[in-house]
């Protein structure tokens, strides 16, 4: 039985900011967690490029995380992102927190207009803390936003 | 007493002698070495300051007038680095008034030249006694503090005050307790506190993590086994529940307990007896059960992953621990507590946090809750080079990344039926599951009680 808790790093569209991977590493060390990297890509006949890119990103992320001695696994899911994400967390091992590795404004609520983004819709149903990196404009560094339900 | 403490006590008292008069230094050194003290000497002020910066002395004997650096400078530096260091001022007759002034500033005593061995022995002896007394007082303070932190959960926020009040209210009860809250919020500490303040405190407190074992191991660990129950079972072995008889068992991650084990545990809760693996004779047990989970047990009940009857039996008293970010006002006091704990462990004299550091700590979101805060403070203490924790001492990501928090309320609105069921379970627990008595207290007849119990699955049939 897997008793170690996991941080789930959620990425989408085949891309990832490397600073988010490094942040996840530091948080995982501090919280004594393993990391699960989940890449979500929408299903589209024309969308093979994103899926291929996503696989490469996941392998790269896994390599960085493994080097630091943190347990890591990854998965790519293609289809309806909201549905795939909810299915993933329903069967995932014990989750300590979710790191949202895509557009931070979706979680921080800093969008001017209400977003139609899928994550905004599923967020109220997530009971885990959500940690959200965001770019700090002035100092040109990344910042974090934690949301706990 | 730990071996570490013992070693420290066995070390000789360390003394620094500072005087520009070589003869005085030699005489004092000879005298104090003969008594058995560890002695270092300095014949100029700068050399003395350098020694004080690099070492912690128990006692310093220093001339008042040395050179451009005076005895008062040495006194000030020594006290700022180690308040327990006793400083004895050596002075000529002409400067006795200044020496008296020095004692007002924290010097232990003064010695007047010419030095008389008896007087030195006496005053240094007094300083050693004082030193020992201070150390003992500090040890006692540490013990009291630890006790206080153990029995009193740290925090002044209304949510923590409520929890403390509830724990005080249930001191005389043996009812089962369910503690909910995210990982790192201090569930086991609360469970231990409940045990330590309860009537079962003379008994054992045993903790079991339900998520850490496979189903067959859970059975063996919890219920023990009879001889020859399986290959290799060469003798009878009592399980954890049996070993905790007259005490408390803490089931962490109860939501991860396998269904088959839940049925066995239900028997323990209801009948107050258990069967060892391979056994046929029930063994009576008298335990209190405290469970904890970060999962929604009601949700697990509705999906059939957790027995509802067991849920109600375990949830007689419910304590919910808030996220750390829901009680930000407790972050400074918790940080100070962890700073003391780790500062002492690493033998560092750090007095506090810079304002900027505390602001950062207070604003951070803590997905890992109190455990993460402790980890951050421990990291900072190990990195700190000065007396104050600065932003640079914090883990890189905290100082590099801006952090602000919002969270949605955790409280859930219960249905009337849920409240009724919980109340019935609570009353049943209070009266030892005596149904006629429970019905009388609830103001309903036995038939109505049975109907309600059946509906809530608190009763078979």
Percent of chain B with pLDDT over 70: 89
Is residue B341 predicted with pLDDT exceeding 60?
Answer: yes
pLDDT given at position A106? 58
pLDDT given at position B404? 44
CATH 3.30.365.10 fits domain B158-322 = no
| Omega before residue B222 within 30° of 0, cis | no
Nearest to A149 among B256, B366, B407 (CB): B407
pLDDT given at position B142? 62
Average pLDDT of span B279-294: 92
Nearest CA in chain B to A2: B212
Interface of A with B (CB under 8 A): 1, 3, 5, 23, 26-27, 30-31, 94, 96-97, 109, 124, 127, 129, 131, 133-134, 136, 141-149
From residue B135, give the alpha-carbon distance in Å to each of B129, B340, B361: 10, 16, 32
Is residue B150 predicted with pLDDT exceeding 80?
Answer: no
Band of residue B443 on the pLDDT scale cut at 50, 70, 90:
confident
Task: Say how far apart CA B69 and CA B21 lie, in whole Å.
Answer: 15
Is residue B3 predicted with pLDDT exceeding 80?
Answer: no
Task: Say how far apart CA A40 and CA A22 lie, in whole Å.
Answer: 20
Helices and strands counted in chain A (H then E): 5, 6
DSSP helix/strand/coil, A93? coil
Task: Say how far apart CA B9 and CA B25 lie, in whole Å.
Answer: 27
Contact yes or no for B59/B35 (Cβ under 8 A): no
Average pLDDT of span B47-51: 93
pLDDT given at position A115? 60
Is residue B156 predicted with pLDDT exceeding 60?
Answer: yes
More confident residue, B49 or B156: B49
Is residue A110 predicted with pLDDT exceeding 70?
Answer: no
Strand order of the β-sheet with B38-42 is: B38-42, B14-18, B59-63, B86-91, B109-112
pLDDT given at position B321? 92
Average pLDDT of span A37-48: 82
Judging contacts by C-beta atoms under 8 Å, the chain A residues touching residue B376 are 30
Cross-chain Cβ contact B408/A147 below 8 Å:
yes
Task: Say how far apart CA B63 and CA B112 lie, in whole Å.
Answer: 10
User: Which is it for strands A141-148 and A130-136: parallel, antiparallel or unpaired?
Assistant: antiparallel
Cross-chain Cβ contact B364/A26 below 8 Å:
no
Which among B90, B86, B163 is positioned nearest to B126, based on CA atoms?
B86
Cross-chain Cβ contact B375/A145 below 8 Å:
no
Nearest to B325 among A5, A127, A146 (CB): A146
pLDDT tens-digit series, residues B55-84: 889 999 999 888 888 888 999 999 888 888
Band of residue B339 on the pLDDT scale cut at 50, 70, 90:
very high
Is residue B51 predicted with pLDDT exceeding 80?
Answer: yes
B30-55 burial: b if 16+ Cβ within 10 Å, else e: ebbeeeebebebbbebeebbebbeee
Burial of A99 (0-12, 13-18, 19+ CB in 10 A): buried
pLDDT tens-digit series, residues B290-336: 999 988 898 889 889 999 999 999 999 999 999 898 888 889 888 98
Between chain A and chain B, the number of residue pairs with CB atoms below 8 A apart is 94
Q: Does B390 touch chain A (CB under 8 A)?
A: no
Task: Say how far apart CA A136 and CA A142 lie, in whole Å.
Answer: 5
Judging contacts by C-beta atoms under 8 Å, the chain B residues touching residue A134 are 402
Kindly give, in sequence order, each residue whose CB lies less than 8 Å from that of residue A31, ignoring residues fewer than 6 positions away. Answer: A5, A7, A96, A97, B184, B367, B368, B371, B372, B375
Chain A nearest CA to B55, separation (Å):
33
Is residue B144 predicted with pLDDT exceeding 70?
Answer: no
Identical fold at B3-141 and B158-322? yes
pLDDT given at position B405? 40
pLDDT given at position B1? 36
- For residue B241, the cross-strand partners are none
Which CATH number is B413-461 given? 1.10.10.60
All structural domains of chain B with their residue ranges:
3-141, 158-322, 324-400, 413-461
Mean pLDDT of chain B, nearest integer: 84
Percent of chain B with pLDDT over 90: 33
CATH 1.10.8.60 fits domain B324-400 = yes
pLDDT given at position A105? 62
Fold of B3-141: Rossmann fold (3.40.50)
Is residue B2 predicted with pLDDT exceeding 60?
Answer: no
Burial of B146 (0-12, 13-18, 19+ CB in 10 A): exposed
Q: Which alpha helices (H) appear in chain A, and where do they start and end?
A: 18-31, 48-67, 81-91, 105-108, 118-122
pTM, entire model: 0.60
User: Which is it for strands A95-100 and A6-12: parallel, antiparallel or unpaired?
Assistant: parallel
More confident residue, A44 or B256: B256
Instruction: Show which of residues 326-385 on chain B sit within 8 Å of chain A, judged by CB atoms.
Output: 326, 364-368, 371-372, 375-376, 379
State the Cα torsion B137-B142-B147-B148 to the nearest 10°: 90
Nearest to A23 among B182, B397, B402 (CB): B397
Q: Specify the DSSP element, H or E, that contains A36.
A: strand A34-41
Average pLDDT of span B137-147: 62
Task: Say how far apart CA A145 and CA A132 lie, in whole Å.
Answer: 5
Is residue B425 predicted with pLDDT exceeding 70?
Answer: yes
pLDDT given at position B254? 94
pLDDT given at position B61? 94
Nearest CA in chain A to B212: A3
Is residue A99 predicted with pLDDT exceeding 50?
Answer: yes
Is residue B282 predicted with pLDDT exceeding 70?
Answer: yes
CB atoms within 10 A of CB A20: 22
Is residue B48 predicted with pLDDT exceeding 90?
Answer: yes
B280-289 burial: b if 16+ Cβ within 10 Å, else e: eeebebebbb
Percent of chain A with pLDDT over 70: 76
Domains and CATH numbers, chain A: 6-147 (3.40.50.620)
Instruction: Show which of residues 78-137 on chain B sit within 8 Å of chain A, judged by CB atoms.
Output: none
pLDDT given at position B461? 41
Which among B244, B301, B236 is positioned nearest to B272, based on CA atoms?
B244
pLDDT given at position A3? 64
Cross-chain Cβ contact A127/B296 below 8 Å:
yes
Tokens of B360: 């950062």
Is residue A137 predicted with pLDDT exceeding 50?
Answer: no
Contact yes or no for B226/B245 (Cβ under 8 A): no
- For residue B288, the cross-strand partners are B248
The radius of gyration computed from the CA coordinates of chain B, to the nearest angstrom, equals 31
pLDDT given at position B9? 42
pLDDT tens-digit series, residues B182-233: 888 889 989 998 998 888 888 999 999 988 788 878 888 899 988 887 777 7
């Amino acid at each position: 039985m897997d008793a170690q808790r996991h941080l789930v790093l959620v990425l989408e569209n085949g891309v990832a900011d490397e600073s988010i991977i490094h942040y996840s590493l530091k948080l995982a060390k501090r919280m004594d967690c393993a990391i699960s990297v989940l890449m979500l890509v929408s299903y589209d006949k024309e969308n093979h490029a994103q899926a291929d890119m996503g696989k490469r990103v996941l392998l790269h992320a896994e390599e960085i995380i493994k080097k630091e001695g943190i347990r890591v696994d990854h998965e790519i899911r293609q289809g309806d992102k909201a549905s795939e994400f909810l299915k993933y967390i329903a069967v995932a091992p014990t989750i300590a927190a979710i790191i949202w590795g895509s557009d931070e404004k979706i979680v921080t609520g800093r969008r001017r207009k209400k977003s139609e983004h899928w994550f905004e819709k599923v967020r109220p149903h997530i009971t885990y803390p959500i940690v959200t990196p965001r770019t700090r404009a002035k100092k040109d560094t990344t910042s974090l936003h934690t949301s706990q339900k | 007493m730990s071996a570490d403490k013992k070693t420290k006590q066995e070390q000789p008292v360390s003394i620094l002698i500072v005087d520009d008069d070589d003869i005085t230094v030699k005489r004092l050194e000879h005298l104090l070495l003969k008594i058995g003290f560890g002695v270092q000497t300095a014949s100029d002020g700068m050399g003395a300051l350098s020694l004080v910066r690099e070492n912690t002395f128990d006692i310093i004997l220093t001339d008042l007038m040395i050179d451009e650096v005076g005895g008062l400078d040495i006194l000030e530096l020594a006290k700022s680095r180690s308040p327990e260091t006793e400083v004895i001022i050596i002075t000529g007759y002409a400067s006795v008034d200044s020496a008296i002034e020095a004692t007002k500033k924290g010097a232990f005593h003064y010695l007047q030249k010419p030095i008389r061995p008896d007087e030195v022995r006496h005053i240094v002896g007094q300083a050693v006694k004082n030193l020992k007394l201070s150390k003992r007082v500090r040890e006692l303070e540490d013990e009291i503090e630890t006790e206080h932190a153990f029995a009193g959960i740290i925090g002044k926020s209304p949510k923590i005050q409520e929890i403390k009040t509830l724990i005080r209210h249930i001191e005389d009860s043996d009812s089962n307790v369910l503690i909910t809250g995210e990982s790192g919020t201090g569930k086991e500490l609360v469970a231990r506190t409940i045990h330590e303040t309860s009537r079962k405190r003379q008994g054992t407190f045993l903790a079991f993590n339900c998520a850490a074992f496979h189903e067959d191991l859970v059975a063996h660990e919890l219920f023990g086994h009879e001889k020859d129950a399986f290959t290799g079972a060469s003798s009878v072995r009592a399980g954890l529940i049996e070993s905790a008889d007259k005490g408390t068992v803490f089931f962490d991650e109860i939501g991860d307990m396998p269904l088959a084990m839940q049925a066995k545990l239900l028997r323990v809760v209801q009948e107050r007896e258990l069967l060892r693996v391979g056994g046929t004779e029930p063994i009576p047990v008298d335990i209190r059960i405290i469970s904890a989970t970060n999962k929604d047990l009601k949700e697990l009940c509705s999906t059939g992953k957790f027995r509802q009857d067991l849920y109600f039996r375990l949830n007689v008293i419910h304590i919910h621990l808030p996220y750390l970010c829901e009680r930000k006002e407790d972050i400074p006091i918790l940080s100070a507590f962890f700073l003391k704990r780790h500062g002492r462990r690493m033998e560092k004299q750090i007095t506090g946090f810079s304002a900027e550091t505390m602001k950062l700590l207070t604003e951070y979101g803590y997905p890992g809750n109190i455990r993460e805060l402790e980890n951050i403070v421990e990291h900072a203490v190990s990195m700190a080079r000065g007396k104050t924790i600065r932003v640079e001492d914090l883990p890189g990501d905290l100082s590099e990344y801006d952090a602000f928090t919002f969270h949605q309320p955790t409280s859930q609105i219960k249905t009337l039926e849920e409240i009724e069921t919980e109340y019935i379970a609570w009353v049943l627990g209070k009266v030892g599951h005596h149904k006629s008595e429970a019905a009388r207290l609830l103001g309903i007849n036995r038939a109505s009680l049975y109907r309600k119990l059946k509906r809530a699955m608190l009763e078979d049939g």
